[in-house]
Amino acid sequence: MRTYEVRTYGCQMNVHDSERLSGLLEDAGYARAAEGEQADVVVFNTCAVRENADNRLYGNLGHLKPVKDAHPGMQIAVGGCMAQKDRGEVVRRAPWVDVVFGTHNIGSLPVLLERARVQQEAQVEILESLEVFPSTLPTRRESAYAAWVSISVGCNNTCTFCIVPSLRGKEKDRRPGDILAEIEALVAEGVSEVTLLGQNVNAYGVEFGDRAAFAKLLRACGGIEGLERVRFTSPHPADFTDDVIAAMAETPNVMPQLHMPLQSGSDRLLRAMRRSYRSERYLGIIERVRAAMPDAAITTDIIVGFPGETDDDHRATLDVVRQARFASAFTFQYSPRPGTPAATMSDQVAPEVVKERYAELAALVDEIAWDENKKLVGRSVELMVAEGEGRKDGATARLSGRAPDNRLVHFAPGDEVPRPGDLVTAEITYAAPHHLVSDIPAADLRRTRSGDAWEQRQSDESCGTGPSSSGAGPVLLGLPTLPA
Q: Region 118-126: what's the mean pLDDT?
A: 94
Q: How many domains does the chain have?
A: 3
393 confidence band (pLDDT: 50, 70, 90)? low
245, part of any domain:
yes
The whole-number pLDDT of residue 373 equals 98
Q: Torsion over CA of 100, 103, 107 and 112, rounded to 10 degrees?
A: -10
Cα(204)–Cα(325) distance, integer angstroms:
28
Each residue's pLDDT tens digit, 7-21: 998 888 889 999 999
110 confidence band (pLDDT: 50, 70, 90)? very high
Short-list 92, 97, 102, 127, CA closest to 46: 102
Q: Region 241-254: what's the mean pLDDT?
A: 97
471 confidence band (pLDDT: 50, 70, 90)? very low
Q: Check whether 483 has a pLDDT greater than 80.
A: no
Query: How would you classify the pairing of strands 99-101 and 123-125?
Result: parallel
Q: Are residues 321 and 451 in the same domain?
A: no
Q: Region 266-290: what's the mean pLDDT?
A: 97
Q: Are residues 100 and 21 in the same domain?
A: yes
Cα(273)–Cα(261) distance, integer angstroms:
13
Q: Are residues 78 and 177 in the same domain?
A: no
Assess contact for 218 and 248: CB atoms under 8 A.
Answer: yes
- For the chain, the residue count is 484
- Residue 41 makes CB contacts below 8 A (sequence gap 6+) with 2, 3, 4, 5, 25, 30, 74, 75, 76, 77, 113
Each residue's pLDDT tens digit, 314-342: 999 999 999 999 999 999 999 888 789 99
Upstream peptide bond of 150 is cis (omega within 30 degrees of 0): no
- Say which range, 76-85, 247-256, 300-309, 352-361, has the weakest mean pLDDT: 76-85
CATH number of the CATH domain containing 448: 2.40.50
The whole-number pLDDT of residue 475 equals 27
Q: Region 286-297: what's the mean pLDDT?
A: 97
Query: How would you classify the pairing of strands 146-150 and 75-80?
Result: unpaired
First-to-last CA distance in the chain? 40
Q: Check whether 449 has a pLDDT greater than 50.
A: yes
Q: What is the mean pLDDT of the chain?
A: 90
CATH number of the CATH domain containing 49: 3.40.50.12160
482, part of any domain:
no
468, part of any domain:
no
Short-list 140, 45, 28, CA closest to 461: 140
The whole-number pLDDT of residue 395 equals 52
The whole-number pLDDT of residue 469 equals 37
482 confidence band (pLDDT: 50, 70, 90)? very low
Q: Are residues 237 and 105 in the same domain?
A: no
Q: Region 120-134: what's the mean pLDDT?
A: 84
Tell me, rounded to whole angstroms, the distance of Cα 38 from its chain centroid: 27
Q: Region 293-299: what's the mean pLDDT?
A: 97
Q: Check whether 186 has a pLDDT greater than 80.
A: yes
Q: Are residues 315 and 453 in the same domain?
A: no
471, part of any domain:
no
Strand, helix or coil for residue 297? strand
Q: Check whether 440 has a pLDDT greater than 70.
A: yes
Strand, helix or coil for residue 265? coil
Q: Are residues 14 and 87 in the same domain?
A: yes
Cα(206)–Cα(36) distance, integer angstroms:
46
**How many other CB atoms sit within 10 Å of the CB of residue 424?**
25
Q: Which of 116, 131, 146 is the last residue of a domain?
A: 131
Each residue's pLDDT tens digit, 131-183: 777 777 888 888 989 999 999 988 999 999 988 888 888 899 999 999 999 99
Order of strands, edge to edge, in the sheet holding 408-411? 430-431, 436-438, 408-411, 399-402, 380-385, 423-427, 443-446
The whole-number pLDDT of residue 392 equals 62
Q: Which residues pair with 80 in a beta bridge?
A: 46
Q: Are residues 81 and 154 in the same domain?
A: no
Q: Region 205-232: what's the mean pLDDT?
A: 95
Q: Are residues 294 and 348 in the same domain?
A: yes
Q: Region 299-323: what's the mean pLDDT?
A: 98
The whole-number pLDDT of residue 56 equals 85
51 confidence band (pLDDT: 50, 70, 90)? low
Listed in sequence order, the DSSP H helices in 71-211 are 81-86, 89-93, 109-119, 164-168, 176-188
Q: Check whether 199 has a pLDDT greater than 70.
A: yes
469, part of any domain:
no
Q: Are residues 279 and 212 in the same domain?
A: yes
Q: Which of 342, 374, 406 is the last residue of a domain?
A: 374
Q: Are residues 368 and 395 in the same domain?
A: no
Phi, psi torsion values for 398, nearest 5 degrees: -130, 155
Distances in whole angstroms, Cα of residue 365 to Cα of each of 16, 107, 274: 28, 40, 25
Q: Check whether 279 has a pLDDT greater than 90.
A: yes
The whole-number pLDDT of residue 391 equals 65
Q: Are residues 243 and 268 in the same domain?
A: yes
Say what percent of the chain tops pLDDT 70.
93
Assess contact for 431 and 410: CB atoms under 8 A.
Answer: no
Domain that holds residue 58: 3-131
Q: Region 241-261: what's the mean pLDDT?
A: 97
Q: Which residue has the higher pLDDT, 253 or 14?
A: 253
Cα(445)–Cα(157) distance, integer angstroms:
45
Q: Are residues 263 and 219 in the same domain?
A: yes
480, part of any domain:
no
Short-list 82, 85, 117, 81, CA closest to 99: 117
Instruction: Please report how the helices 351-374 and 311-324 are oriented relative to each other, as an axis angle in degrees rounded to 10.
Output: 10
CATH number of the CATH domain containing 335: 3.80.30.20
Q: Check whether 255 has a pLDDT greater than 50.
A: yes
481, part of any domain:
no
